[in-house]
Amino acid sequence: MPTFTALTTLEGKDNAERLGEAMENLDPVPTGVGVFEIEDGSGLWEIGGYFTQAPDDTALAVLAVAFGAKPFAVSELPDVDWVAKVKRELTPVQAGRFFVYGSHDADQVPEDCEPLLIEAAMAFGTGHHGTTLGCLNALDRLAGEGFVGQNLADIGCGTAVLAMAAARVWPNTVMASDIDQVAVDVAVANVKANDLDGRVECVEAPGFDHADLLAKAPFDLVFANILKAPLVMLAPDMGKHIAPAGHAILSGILNEQADEVVAAYADAGFEIHTREEIGEWTTLTLTRA
């Protein structure tokens, strides 16, 4: 079955969301519409729709003019078995003591490692992205320095790879939360696949806004591998919910955005412990003073 995409950009969150809502009324109806902030400091938002039939070019042109967006770029995607493609291209990743792999590479797991099984279909959070790799490296460094995590949380957990990594190192239960219930379901499945059921508790929540998270605060280590804007917004809550001398491992930050994130967390009472760049991404380990 063919898949078509229609993509455009414009300024402003509210305008972008209204355009996304308007796209849902198109004929043919899109199978999905996404609205995302472009994290490059431009202030632009990307709006995209997916279709199983070629979208109406005239209707898209009218929407673009009505909302002040750029003309839509329409493309037909090739018919690709993406899971098979990912399995071919995603090789296991070693990050310190951690070995992240898919079941198709189970025969390559070394004996002297902390194995983390993430299936190839779970593309975000497999360990291949510089943000996830940076967080795993940061966790490995903290543990190597003698830090012992007692009360831990993974905010915006995605596949829960970071929460599971922490559970492999320390015996305590790790809280994992995500704003998206689909991500929470994926996290739960991964936790079970790694025999960590009961060691990682997964909940749907924006930030720390969940009774179970609030009951367990303050934390001595919190992961947040998301994006710059929500990281900056979370800074005051991080200051409230991380114990003195506790750590935050943050990523999803472009290198040129790192200083802005550091400044926001300095205002919330944090100082830099380590800072690592992998490709275009920065991972920060911060300590609450």
* pLDDT tens, residue by residue, 196-206: 999 999 999 99
Q: Once rounded to an integer, what is the mean pLDDT over residues 117-139?
A: 71
Provide the pLDDT for residue 118. 84
pLDDT at 243 over 50: yes
Rounded to whole angstroms, how far apart are CA atoms 175 and 241? 13
Mean pLDDT for the stretch of residues 135-152: 95
Rounded Cα distance between 116 and 200, Å, is 13
Split at pLDDT 50, 70, 90, the class of 168 is very high
The pLDDT value given to residue 128? 47
Q: Averaged over 48-53, what is the pLDDT?
A: 91
Q: How is residue 43 written in tokens?
A: 């202030």
Q: Check whether 280 has a pLDDT greater than 80.
A: yes
Per residue in 214-228, pLDDT (tens digit) is 999 999 999 999 889
Could you report the per-residue pLDDT of 65-94, keeping only the tens digit for each? Answer: 999 999 999 998 766 554 554 455 456 778
Q: What is the pLDDT of residue 80?
A: 58
Q: What percent of the chain is modeled with pLDDT above 90?
A: 64
- Give the model's confidence band at 108: pLDDT under 50 very low, under 70 low, under 90 confident, else very high: confident
pLDDT given at position 214: 95
- What DSSP state is assigned to residue 256? G
Q: What is the pLDDT of residue 115?
A: 82
Q: How confident is the model at residue 122 (pLDDT cuts 50, 70, 90)?
A: very low
pLDDT over 70 (residue 158) = yes
pLDDT tops 60 at residue 61: yes
Q: What is the mean pLDDT of residues 5-19?
A: 93
**Structure token pair of residue 11:** 């300024």
- Angstrom CA distances, 118 to 97, 128, 131, 155, 269, stand at 16, 11, 16, 18, 35
Provide CB contacts within 8 A for 75, sequence distance 6+. Answer: 4, 5, 7
The CA-atom distances, in angstroms, between 233 and each of 136, 157, 162, 268 are: 23, 17, 21, 11
